Structure 1
Amino acid sequence: MTDPSRDDPVDRAPAADATDDDSVAPDDPASEPAVEDDSTANPATDPSATAPNDSPAVAVAVALALGVLGPVLALLGGQGLFLVDTAVGGLPLAVYVLLTLIVGQYVAFGGLAVGYLAWRGFDRSGIVSYLGVRRPSLTEIGLVVGGWVVIVITLLVVSSVVQLLGAETASNQSAELAIQNPTIIPLFVVAMFLVVGPCEEILYRGVVQGRLRESLPAAPAIAIASAIFAFIHVMALTGGVSGRLTTVAILFFPSLVFGAVYEYTENLVVPALLHGLHNAVIFTLLYVTVTYSDELQEMAEGGAALLPL
């Protein structure tokens, strides 16, 4: 009768000669060459490898600090440009606006976002991966258009409620400048897509919301990032305190759409395009109303307050 133990694969291996010092059992781990584990995450390229292991409170504090520091740097840069403008006897308006956008957006917002991620140890590819920067698909382009429609409908409803309550709103400084100088509005329209949308979304969706998502679920992370983004617009508004707070509350709603679109697509280009489209449409309407219809100028000024610049 056959011994069942002989069916064991281990028993099929030839027995090693106990007297042969050079022989090693086949199943001895020492006989197998060490293989380098390629699965180890690279902190410079893998976002999960450098995710801080901290509490939600710390994540909120860091996000708030980054969200406030961006506008502070922009204000400091603006003061520097003002000194330069004064020293040279006045720059052309278009040049001054362009320099303000470059310093306030690319340097302050974009520079802060990239600098923070570089400080955390990400290299270039790691930063791109963390932010989620890629060419949008046709579906994502459709989300840009659909998101803009949602924003418009939401703002119409919210603005109607604000008017029924008799609450005052504030004005946006950039929009006021555009109304007073309609010839620079085309520059603003282009800048919304190439400067403002990308730079503000890099900081407030890519870094602020991204940092919150490392410690919080999607819903609270989007809400907190949107609140920070809306609140910092106090610095860009003119008018009384109540008017500024009302406008900040209104701006919270398009911010939610930006954040939700980013969370859904994980592609920073999508909210950047949506942000740019929303602002560009408002500036285009400003140009039309200011240039061709004095009767609608008051309406244009009211809509200008809703710019999430």
Structure 2
Amino acid sequence: MTETARAGDEDATGESFVPSLGVVPAVVAMAAVLVPVRGGVEDPFVQLAGALAVVSVVAFLTRRHGVLAPASGAVLAAGSSLGVVLLTGYALNQGITGSTAVPGLDGTVSLLFLAFAAAGGSIGVAAADYGGVSARGLIERTLRFSTMAGVGFAGLIAMAIVSIVLAPLLGFDGVQGQLLQYLSTALGLGAVAAITMAFRGYDLSFLDLEVPSLRTVGWTVGGLVLLFGALIVISIAMTAVGVDTADHGTTQQVEQNPELLVVIVPGMLLVVGPFEELLYRNVIQKSLYETFSRYGAVVVTSVIFAGVHVSAYATAGPGQILASLAVLFGLSLVLGFIYERTENLVVPALVHGAYNAIQMLLLVV
């Protein structure tokens, strides 16, 4: 963990605060899984998730009372919570939601999705406990995560606003619709990146732009290999366990109208890769370095990156969307690692753009 990331950690309000806080999402996850189990859900993955949720609660409680050492207790809590995330995610993908009616409201709530989200929070708290983060440090990290998540979703909103403004000039269909999409991406994400930098007092020196060199070429080629390698591994794993993913909206458009590749391929290389990496890596991930460890910032940025792409898979079911976001999370980890290693925006921008372009071209081969 970097020195900056540890700033403020010495002002702890007590060693037991962080594991005490972890009990809350762990209990929520446990209850959210055990209610459908007691209600008759006999799926073994859900039942195993319930057992692991209980282990997570016990781990946090034993850490809270000093029975387990920080390292062993935090690892047990994180590992069992990760198991809950994976198992409930799998159940959701298979159409098991554990839905229940909410008194006074129309509709239902998926208890398994609630367990999935709560267990994800437990992992974050356990990681903080393992790293020796104090109460103050945890609050600072939570606030920074929330702020940067807001920046990420502001980019999505800005793109929508630009799209609405320019739609009367270009329309939503065909080649002009693709041009509208890429103009919205460039103007929306670019504007949010510029506003965030100005608000935080950063000048142009904050941008990690270097003249391409042999090192840049090497990292770009290696990054593409890493990215496609990660995709293959994730895809094989998901296929092996029968997890279905959703198609990206752009993928569906290419399959229906391959001629759009004339616009989509350069759009991926010149707009999507550069501007998404500008906001999510150079602005969000780099800003998170000030509070999180560098690798922690990569993980947190990937959570945000995956979350803002929900709308791209909106035509699929919730389980398929969740699986697709898991794939995006894994690929974002690779891009974040590349940026952290090179500290050069050009490299992840090229890797991201080329990866997307190649993916689109493979659809028509």
Return the TM-score normalized by structure 2: 0.59
* 1:266 alignment counterpart: 343
- Retained in 2: the 8 A contact 1:106–1:199? yes
* 1:59 alignment counterpart: 144
Q: Of residues 167, 187, 195 in structure 1, which corresponds to 2:243?
A: 167
Distance 2:243 2:357 in 1: 26
Residue 143 (1) aligns with residue 219 (2): yes
Q: Which has the higher contact order (CA 8 A, sep 6+)?
A: 1
Residue 100 (1) aligns with residue 181 (2): yes
Where do 5+ consecutive residues of structure 1 fail to align? 1-53, 289-309
Distance 1:73 1:259 in 2: 23
Distance 1:153 1:132 in 2: 26
Cα shift readout 1:193-234 (whole Å, capped 9, x = no counterpart)? 110001000100011101111111111100000111012111
Distance 1:277 1:241 in 2: 29
Distance 1:145 1:233 in 2: 25
Deviation at 1:167, TM superposition (A): 1.5
The CA RMSD measured in Å over matched residues stands at: 1.8
Counterpart AA for 1:163: T
Residue 287 (1) aligns with residue 334 (2): no
Distance 1:75 1:244 in 2: 20
Cα shift readout 1:103-132 (whole Å, capped 9, x = no counterpart)? 1x111111100121122333xxx22x2121
* 2:303 alignment counterpart: 227
Deviation at 1:81, TM superposition (A): 4.1
The 5-angstrom pairing of residues 1-309 of structure 1 reads 55-82=140-167, 84=168, 93-103=174-184, 105-122=185-202, 126-127=203-204, 129-237=205-313, 238-288=315-365
Distance 2:173 2:300 in 1: 39
- Retained in 2: the 8 A contact 1:198–1:273? yes
Distance 1:259 1:241 in 2: 26
Return the TM-score normalized by structure 1: 0.69
Which moves more between the two structures, 174-183 or 73-82?
A: 73-82
Distance 2:143 2:206 in 1: 19
Deviation at 1:64, TM superposition (A): 0.8
- Retained in 2: the 8 A contact 1:151–1:253? no
- Retained in 1: the 8 A contact 2:172–2:180? no
Counterpart AA for 1:64: A
Percent same amino acid at aligned positions? 36
Counterpart AA for 2:342: T
Flag as ranges the 4+ runs of structure 1 deviating above 6 A.
none
Distance 1:171 1:76 in 2: 24
Q: Residues 91, 202 of structure 1: CA spacing in aligned structure 2 closer, same or farther, 3 A cutoff?
A: closer
Which one has the largest radius of gyration?
Answer: 1
- Retained in 2: the 8 A contact 1:185–1:287? no
Where do 5+ consecutive residues of structure 2 fail to align? 1-138
